[in-house]
Amino acid sequence: MTAAPILSERVGHTQIITLNRPDSMNAITSQMLTDLNTALKAADDAPQVRAVVITGAGRAFCSGLDLKQASAGEGIAGTLGSRQGTNHYSTREICTVTLQRMDTPVIAAINGAAAGYGLDLALGCDMRLISDRAKLLPGFAKMGVIPESGGTWYLPRLLGWAKACEISMLGDPMSAEQALDYGLVNRVIPEAQLMETALAWCDKISANAPLAIAEMKRLFRHGLTQDFESHSHHVLMSVLNLFKSNDFSEAVTAYMEKREPDFKGN
């Protein structure tokens, strides 16, 4: 029986989504995109899920789109090359668009090589932890393509124009330490401790007020396209709504009683 290309498992309040084609270094197929999109939406819709981890099975995070399928005109390349496929491949079905819309925090646990689509996928996550043995491989130009799934949007915002051009146009591999120095990842973690650390970060996020975390993500997202005054108005409205929540009441009560709060997300 063929193993599922996407695995999704809940541990406490954390949903672990694993790219599961280790023999192909988790190269992305059209079926994987569909399944990954479904898993991401399900995690974001589940009230008991407060954080998500995306990682890869085996020695790679994701080596990019499946080139064997692409060279044969099958899979994603075949889908995008037809009029019918282009219509089907709408923004509603693009995983990196789903990632950008999600209110649940997402951490990329980059366990190995992240190339092409895999790099864009990692950039679409809110935080990135990388194994000390992993590499980022932005070799789009070497393959005659572009960062097609978010990289052209994220890189200039994360790094500024000049660094984005350097990384994408030179296409040089980046070690974990170089990625940290550039500001593309949050931490470099010893390989054996990567998932443990990712889950620990998720536990810390999950212990905080879910409504406040979700609202932070929404406001960060909207702030990218708003002027300061408009954004400040939306922040004020959000704060006033959060003041009415049971989570805020619990936070105040727990503070007065000198105990840890027990947030329910309402």
The answer to whether the CB of 97 falls within 8 A of the CB of 155 is no
Under the banding of pLDDT at 50, 70 and 90, the label for residue 88 is very low
pLDDT tens-place string over residues 148-196? 788 889 999 999 999 999 999 999 999 999 999 999 999 999 999 999 9
Q: What is the mean pLDDT of residues 66-80?
A: 59
pLDDT at 70: 61
Q: Which residues pair with 65 in a beta bridge?
A: 28
| CATH assignment, 6-206 | 3.90.226.10
Return the domain boundaries, the chain: 6-206, 208-256
Torsion of CA 12, 222, 32, 28, to 10 degrees: -120
pLDDT tens-place string over residues 134-151? 999 988 878 777 777 888
pLDDT at 3: 86
Report the percentage of the chain scoring pLDDT > 90.
80
Beta-carbon contacts of 135 under 8 Å, excluding residues fewer than 6 positions away, are 112, 113, 114, 173, 174, 175, 176
